[in-house]
Amino acid sequence: MKDEIWKAYSHGMAVAMQEGGIYLPSLLLRSYSQLGLDNFEMMLMLHLISFAQTEQIEFPTPKQLADRMGTTAEQVEQSLGRLLKEQYITIEDYIDEESGRHTERYNWQPFFVLATQFIAEEQRHKKTNQKQPVVEVKPSSTNLFSTFEQEFGRLLSPMECETIINWLDNDQYTEEIILFALKEAVFAGKLSLRYIDRILIEWSRNRITNADEAKAHINRFRKGNG
């Protein structure tokens, strides 16, 4: 009997692994309640991410979401409306590269940014024994993500978002220097966060903190190799 149970379990795990999974930073689960989302709205966010990451459906209909969640399309529409109104998510227009058609997609990155900022503030306040922080999405950070998406020609993945936020919060790079590093990557034709990270590390080692200093450093390097 135990062997049969183990075989059934193994078969179930194999099927589950073939179905794939989604990348979900734990910080989203740690912060969503404090950020004003209820359990249904958080589950709705998870399904938006799942549709995009595992099925490449970036704009699921309320009915598709409702069928997946075992609820009504009306309830999904109501929750989506609040998430959009409060700017936890946005809807973006874009041109599908394969079909060339104009279409739409959900962008959940504002919520990802908000959650990351909340955790960063929470850690900072713990160190100073202050009260629980109240965090708002910073428009400048959201615009930074939009600039990367425009240059990359696609939405950033959650992991890529986390990398950029780490540049801001952990490495303490300014948005100015990050955008200038992005510009250099575009110039070099190497659009990857790994390449941009190497640029930022090099500039940090040379104590470069702004675009003017970076420009002077690049000019010296190019003249030395000219």
Cα of first residue to Cα of last residue in the chain, in angstroms, is 76
d(CA 135, CA 121): 8
Instruction: Kindly report the pTM of this predicted structure.
Output: 0.55
- Specify whether the CB–CB gap between 71 and 79 falls below 8 A: no
What is the predicted pLDDT for the residue at 10?
47
**What domains are there in the chain, each with its CATH number?**
19-155 (1.10.10.10), 171-226 (no CATH)
Taking alpha carbons only, the member of 98, 94, 121 closest to residue 30 is 121
pLDDT by position in tens, the chain (length 226): 455 554 554 444 344 344 566 667 777 888 889 889 999 999 999 999 899 888 889 999 999 999 999 999 999 998 998 888 888 888 888 777 777 788 888 988 888 888 877 877 777 777 666 555 554 544 455 578 778 888 988 777 667 777 887 788 778 898 899 999 999 999 999 989 999 999 999 999 999 988 899 999 888 877 766 5
Task: Locate 85 and state its tokens.
Answer: 């109104």
